[in-house]
Amino acid sequence: MTSLRGRHLLSIADYTLDELTSVLDAALRLKRQPSLVAGLAAGKTLAMIFEKPSLRTRVTFETAMTQMGGHAIYLQPSDIGIGTRETAQDVAQNLSRWVQAIMARTFKHGTITELAQYATVPVINALSDLEHPCQALADFLTLTEHKAYLKGRKLAYVGDGNNVAHSLMLLAALVGTHFTIACPEGYDPSPEVLAQARALAKESGAKINVVRDPVEAVKGADALYTDVWTSMGQEEERAKRLAVFPPYQLNAALLRHAKPDAIVMHCLPAHRGEEISAEVLDGPQSVVLDQAENRLHAQKAVLALALGWVPNE
């Protein structure tokens, strides 16, 4: 495989198909054999920059470093204040003198790209307003475990065309998974990301579609996915969104239009009774806890490969 040592992960599209396959394969191996990278990060430190809170992101990244023998430092907004107290350039250049990798969970995607521009260590996007590549990697690891193969499968996303949808769309396009998103008018994915995904899909044969009708989207789907209707930073839009999105709830009635063995996915946290019904979220077809667990394994693979791990053939 191509070495990913020292590589940033800002967007799913930063990786080629071969590199994505290598990351997913590495994640599966590390899930089964965590000892493969025990000690890899001994004496190494991950700086974790948080502008937004997160249960799963903080715990899984910190746990991954701990399991590899390293250390992680949690930096909350008041510790740094990127753009107010210090520039992203200064933060990146200073951290690069002390740590071996930087993980950032930010509002603006531009903050991530600026950190990567000036850092001399790998920078990992742990969520921005444009993408959530670590989530998508965990999700496709989950799809692989439950559906055996990815090419030709159908993933249906119902809800807001947000950062999670962007990363899922790009990954689907790269690996050949058909992707359909159903969203209300005015809440489509970014036209630039959509065009990028469709260009990538020409190589893989994936079909990338945007529709208005949730039933149309989920017909014949192997997996159904949703996310919150109002993301962090959009709180002032909550009332408006609550009036628009109810027809896009992932519930038992909608699930019946998918394949009988379709799995239900959500990146969490979930608002039961809004974007997803409790009976579906907690039901037998839900794999949301598998997705949450797989954040640990996917991110550990990204970190291990960026720190120089080369899996034995």
Give catalytic status of residue 295 as yes or no. Answer: yes
Catalytic status, residue 227? yes
CB neighbourhood size of 90 (10 A): 13
CA geometry: angle 264, 269, 273, nearest 5 deg: 70
Question: 105 an active-site residue?
Answer: yes
Which is catalytic among the residues 249, 295, 297, 299? 295
Q: Are 262 and 280 in contact (CB under 8 A)?
A: no
Residue 290 Cα distances to 31, 156, 265, 266, angstroms: 12, 18, 9, 10
The CB-based long-range contact list for 94-99 (8 Å cut-off, 24+ gap) reads 95/47, 95/119, 95/121, 96/120, 96/121, 98/45, 98/47, 99/44, 99/45, 99/46, 99/47, 99/73
Q: Which residue is catalytic, options 105, 109, 241, 297? A: 105
| Dist. CA 214–CA 229, nearest whole Å | 15
| Residue 256 annotated to the active site | no
Q: Which of 33, 28, 37 is nearest to 304 (CA)?
A: 37
Which phi and psi angles does 297 have, rounded to 5°?
A: -70, -40
> Cis omega before residue 214 (within 30°)?
no
The pairing of beta strand 123-125 with beta strand 101-105: parallel
The two three-digit tokens of residue 8, written as one number? 């940033």
Name the catalytic one among 135, 196, 291, 299.
135
**CA–CA distance from 201 to each of 157, 205, 218, 245 (Å)?**
17, 5, 20, 28
Q: Are 69 and 39 in contact (CB under 8 A)?
A: yes
Q: Which helix (H) or strand (E) holds 19?
A: helix 17-32
Question: DSSP characters for 173-204?
Answer: HHHT-EEEEE--TT-PPPHHHHHHHHHHHHHH
Q: 67, 178, 227, 291: which one is catalytic?
A: 227
Active-site option among 8, 267, 291, 299: 267
The residues annotated as belonging to the active site are 105, 132, 135, 227, 267, 295
